[in-house]
Structure 1
Amino acid sequence: MLSKSYLLVHIALVPLYISLALYLNFLPQNISDNLLSLLRQAKSNFRAQYLKATITNNFHNTATIPNATMSSMKFVPRRSEERGNADHDWLKTFHTFSFAMYQDSQHELFGSLRVINEDRVAPRTGFGTHSHREFEIFSYVVAGELEHKDSMGNIEILKRGDLQMTSTGTGISHSEKAHGSKQVHFLQIWSLPTTSRLPPKYYTRHFTDEEKTDKWARVVAPVGAPGVSGDREGAGPAPVQSPLTLYATLLGQGKTLSRPLEGKKGYIHVVQTSGYNEGKAKGASVKINSKGGEELTLREGDGAYIFVGKGGNTLQVENDGDRTAEILVFDLD
């Protein structure tokens, strides 16, 4: 009879045996394709779990996260100049979280929120065809026009106010390029889905400046939430397979808005509308606070992690600057 340790060793070596069989073409093509798909899925799931574990460890460090029994809302600033950034000539980009060549173990993930990239793409250039799986990816267009093409047959020109949402599920390929003679400025946002192996889906929504002026527009919300439609194009927020709700506003000078947060945490980002700036944030200015809690001033490109307290969950945002501020607020479980 084989010993238990002998069996465990061979079980541990199964991935190696499979890899060798695939490499040496010992398996029929249909079996090889299925195994490769399973291996890719396992890799994707492992990375997602690793990212969740990493951010849990990072933000449960007592030096970083406020006390879990705090009575008021707490903020941890994420300054614009501290974000990852790169100037590739055709692409000028900022990374709130680890992405591509920028890696920071303190900023990997927050709740289901994985990526906030603020991109500026030069005319007639962009991201060629590439693939994604197991991410919810949405593009929020600030200025210019963004051309989207994907393997599901979607071809679309997105303009200011448009929000395009791709639930990549088991996998899609797409390209995103600046359309026309002007630069496109947009935010690409990724979140982790709560359910894996879903079929890919595509949605677009449009929100006018008027809908966002001095009020909150709910632009993304979880599938099944009130007012969320599963139509490819429709009214209301785009559906996302994550516990994430995204609000947007254009807040005028001297105006104040309140935003109740239903989740345990949130994130706020002030869009860098005054132009690409690698230095200390400037431009529009907003002050955030909660009843009886601390205050924090943010300018264009700045953001903040929000920890919702037991004594109050309402975020107050005041424009204390000299121009309109475009603001995104994520409500996260």
Structure 2
Amino acid sequence: MKFQYRPSETRGGADHGWLKTFHTFSFANYYDEDFEQFGALRVINEDRVAPKTGFPTHPHREAEIFSYIISGELSHKDSMGNVETMVRGDIQMTSGGRGIAHSEYNDHESKQTHFLQIWALPSQRGLTPGYYTRHFTDEEKTDVLKLIVAPVGTEGVTEEREGKSVTPIHSPLHFFASLLSPSTNVKHTILPPTPASRKPDEKLVYVQLVQSSGYNTSKAKKDGQGPLVKITSRAGDEVTLGEGDGVFVRGGKVGEELAMENVGGARGEIVLFEMDA
């Protein structure tokens, strides 16, 4: 495996007043030729939306778009007739396919909304648009790496609008989350590629430590008071993430392990993406 560390402060983004956002990949007015996408992963925006504001109705197509709610409330409305208010633990997947339009608002009177907005490229074009919601409690994610999203066709994944299964996605992408306590570790084992993989002997992984303690455009604090997640491979590669930091992992082989240990002083929220190369 080969690690590429991405410090939080090198992410793109902006403070628009009503919206404070970080961009892991090129988005809106932020462009970096080195960070346009990673496998099927095209967008990870860490957004904070002020009360009574949000994103007005806008179109999407040929993208799998999902929101992972960290705190606050997010109200969704779309051209398929779906109306939903999401809270912490909720995940909402919109399969854009041939085209949809939606809006996302923080309708709360006083509380900010903090969420990850994630886009992935679909495995095929021209899909019928779809909408799915799931809920995963903090208990389900505490000190384990919980599978949240998996490709359609994966055993146990159903395409019901609501349900108890893992969230379906029409993309070769798995998404995991963990609430990791201090002095605790979890391990991720590289999964087999999807049948359509062009490089079946190589997998991609991206891990990010959510910036849970508050909006901060400076270098992630690593004083030991907050969460610090040390990530190591069996071959000895190692990196330590502060809040907002991420690491791109290339060259993963099926069955290899990534170990993640919280060496800091507070619980941290980890998100992990695994994709075909």
Aligned counterpart, 2:240: 297
The residue type equivalent to 2:79 in the other structure is S
**Contact 1:290-1:312 within 8 A present in 2 as well:** no
Question: Larger Cα Rg: Structure 1 or Structure 2?
Answer: 1
Select the structure that is richer in helix: 1
Aligned counterpart, 2:187: 258
1:149 partnered with 2:92:
no
2:175 and 2:252 map into 1 onto residues whose CA distance is: 20
1:175 to 63, 87, 103: 103
1:281 to 194, 197, 220: 220
CA displacement at 1:284 relative to structure 2:
1.6
Number of positions where the alignment pairs a residue of Structure 1 with one of Structure 2? 261
Compare 250-259 and 310-319 and name the one that shifted more. 310-319
**Contact 2:145-2:176 within 8 A present in 1 as well:** yes
- Structure 2: gaps (5+ residues): 194-202
**Contact 2:190-2:255 within 8 A present in 1 as well:** no
1:124 and 1:318 map into 2 onto residues whose CA distance is: 38
1:184 partnered with 2:102:
no
2:190 and 2:252 map into 1 onto residues whose CA distance is: 10
**Contact 1:161-1:207 within 8 A present in 2 as well:** yes
Higher RCO (CA 8 Å, separation ≥ 6 residues): 2
Aligned counterpart, 1:45: none
Select the structure that is richer in strand: 2
1:88 partnered with 2:16:
yes
1:310 and 1:145 map into 2 onto residues whose CA distance is: 39
Question: What TM-score do the two structures reach when normalised by structure 2?
Answer: 0.92
**Contact 2:49-2:113 within 8 A present in 1 as well:** yes
1:121 and 1:298 map into 2 onto residues whose CA distance is: 25
Aligned counterpart, 2:88: 160
2:259 to 303, 310, 316: 316
Once the two structures are superposed, the pairs formed by residues 59-208 of structure 1 within 5 Å of their partners are 73-181=1-109, 182-208=111-137
1:229 partnered with 2:158:
yes
1:189 and 1:195 map into 2 onto residues whose CA distance is: 18
CA displacement at 1:308 relative to structure 2:
3.4
CA offsets 1:272-324 (integer angstroms, 9 cap, x no match): 00000000012321000011321100011001101234596211000000000
The residue type equivalent to 2:150 in the other structure is A
Among the aligned pairs, what percent are the same residue? 58
- Structure 1: gaps (5+ residues): 1-72
